[in-house]
Structure 1
């Protein structure tokens, strides 16, 4: 979005003032060097004139003003008699040309008397300002004289008058010289000025040619310096409002853009969308591949967003892996943001590696400017966390989300205690051979037996846990508990493979394969009875590191399954190179496929792909008998879903698998 005309005008004026200041700072030393002699004479003459002015002002104070006063501090004001006497005295002196103006001030600098009734005077009030040094000095006993013009001070009324010597001195009375205030006198400078001009007339003539030459030289120097200064000022201003890595507006500028867009919405009646975008698992990518590659990926994402937005829109990097968006008058906010999210999630080549990160986006639609920018951003962030927790990619803010996000944060705070206290349990969803209907495997699904909220599904706490280091503790617990249950099934004569979901953070850890092998050994379970499920997104977080871990698991005999296949951006070439034993078709393609030709075609293609690559294919999300018949007809090896069986405790799985006689 282009900056407004007013800010540009302010910046231009500021630049001009800085350039003029720079020119003056250059001219002063040069002129001092060239006019040393004339300034010496001028200085001597002016000093003599200022001394004379001080002396005359002291005489006025002691012989004319002090006798008219009763000796009380001026802060108490003047009596009628004193004011009349002072008015007569000053009027006569001004008429005679000996004085231009006289004021009396109290010890705080406030004007007590002036022949100008409109005079306010600087320093009026309980304290001195930054420009009242001369009044402060006089209030402390010093005499200050300086050249000025009549009515040149900010508090004076009327047009600027002739040159004058402005004198500030302590006003004392009596033989004890008790100070009762400050006298401010303006004496005519014309006689002193005439003396100075006469002394310098000859020197000005001799120096004219030299100054002309210096002027040309200074013009060239100043022109060069001013150009460089303008460039530096522009660069500094840009850096203060933009992110150094991506070149996008930073948080400070984004806040301004949000405020401007909200005002625009209020004026035009057209909607504005403010969105927050966060990259899921970006920290894992940074930790495994290094910050340099993470920064490179951020740069690519920033370029993609910038290219897709209109000139009236804004994309900003707010910090880390968080971006802010302002969309003016979007046609369909949800669709446009989903499209931007897809652009961000598409694979990028970074250092020769194919990388992809999935974003979560939360947004708020504005129709006026009643909310502050910080409130708008906070609400969009709440929606973003809701999208992250629900895996919906994009979510719109609603007040109800405030409660759920706060509740999720409370749950995450309680999760370490739940891990230590044994509040987590595993349920198992059976997987059947599609052709025969026999239960041949099961997927372990974690539940939280919360003392207040009851049995919580993984969707309530896993998404938030995946954003923290708690996910590693949780994965280790699930792995150990699932293998212990697998050992029990084996002891009952029904050893079946148990599938365990593994997070993106775990699958790229160098020691993860070793952790799995240690857990298998501790439970005395063969590696072939463990299936490690990873998502496509997890693989793309760090492809090379994930490949190494999967190869270690495969060589040990552990089966690897790609969960939710079809959701991510995995290239077929990359998939073929991985040691994968199983493809698990995403439930979004399976549920309802019996009446959907497009879904049926997709599932059929995945089945053919998996079989051609030597993989087992699992259909997840079989909700009806029609779904089961469809996946069976297409040749899926295994089927899983609510139509077959809901997730159940271990004991229920044992009762399903093992005859009563053996169990007893």
Structure 2
């Protein structure tokens, strides 16, 4: 049984309890009201007898005076007929002192009864009609066994004057009860039907409410699509079915590229409208049985059960085309773009969390390579338990001084003069020893810790420039930044704030970025670089030749330097192809007005070849290995004038 129905039945059962209690309370109240009505009818009957039969016989004479024999006989005849007819059970007359002066059955004369403070007859002697339910012979002054149930009534007797005496009369309750019971049965029937209808209405309302609550708990309020909770449940079912049947299932993440710009430019209302439109497109374009969910923000998730690896690319390309069709937001036509990443079960994982994480990695790969769609690639997966533990320790290391910067000089090839240094991060782990950057930086970038690392590197490198003082005057400091840093619109503010805090001129800082970082979010990157360049910060493209940067795009950026990747430089004397690439990059850089730097220079022969091509700056082990800050000052004193020599 689904949990929603169990919840409904529980609620329906729980609501039955107060309804039943309400019915019990109303039944008790109706029973009490019926008894009150019975007493009222008995009181009315007794009062009628007193006024129409007894008082006329008294003719204004108090009962303390003896009744004439003729009146007593008349009363006996009257009461005998009434008793025989069953309209009364017993009748007595008492004087105002409580003494019985008449009794139809002869009882009560010799009991010596008088009024006491609790006697109902006392109240009647003072002008009050008193009635209550009892049994015959139940009074303490009565003799004989208790009899039938009766209404015992005490009525004051008077003829528009003082009380003459008290009528004590016992009326049969059975006829009254029968009449009342007939009415009560009708009332109980109506009450039962009403309460049953009330419970049914409450049950229907609760069922509707439960259905809506379950829907809201499992669906996104903006788009109406399944949310993360329902997505994970359906993904788990699809994975289980794939394993059971020997098939496959896909978990897909789709992200709207540059959606933040829509929100920032057109407002969140229009951003929500665009998300609603894209959600509707996805939901109508998938296959029957597929699930489209909104996982948060501009991220959608898809569960594609029973899909093969040979057909998923076709489906995702079609879905991407559907998403990227022009949409009108407000009055503005937009052409949204999306990136899809997917992982297949069971090949890429057999649980939802693993497949989601790997689909997320694939999506960022699709964004970075601008391919639009990518599958999880195990060779690019930098996550494992040990590395995640390293990240947790790295967070602590930033605060405890375990991180250090080493510095590697750069020298002009033409003069041999040292012109700059590059700050390189090292982690001196108290247990693991020196941890290389490649072991923790990729995971740090994925977890967002890269932002804190970059701020630390900037602050430390600029503080070191100040600490070195005149010995470094005129030298530039290069700092590497990641794709994630460059994708943050406020990154330029972070860099300029660090320069201001250190008191270092912007012209002495070189920000090194990779081609991949440039292509992760080109528009944001271009804006960040433009702000930095305007402020005087120099921009260098690191590892040039390894990425896929469009030359047309490259020419539009405010760049100052190209760094040829060391993979082309290391074997330069022996690899004619790499030599041709190096010459082409040098010519390209110079044609764009950029300085060209060669990384990985380790031999004098390489220096000679680079010099011949016109390369401007060299960096590598031939010049110097990265070194601590304290070692750089004496090294610089020995090598400042001419650090590179060329063998002829």
Name the TM-score, length of structure 2 as normaliser: 0.49
Q: TM-score, normalised by structure 1?
A: 0.48
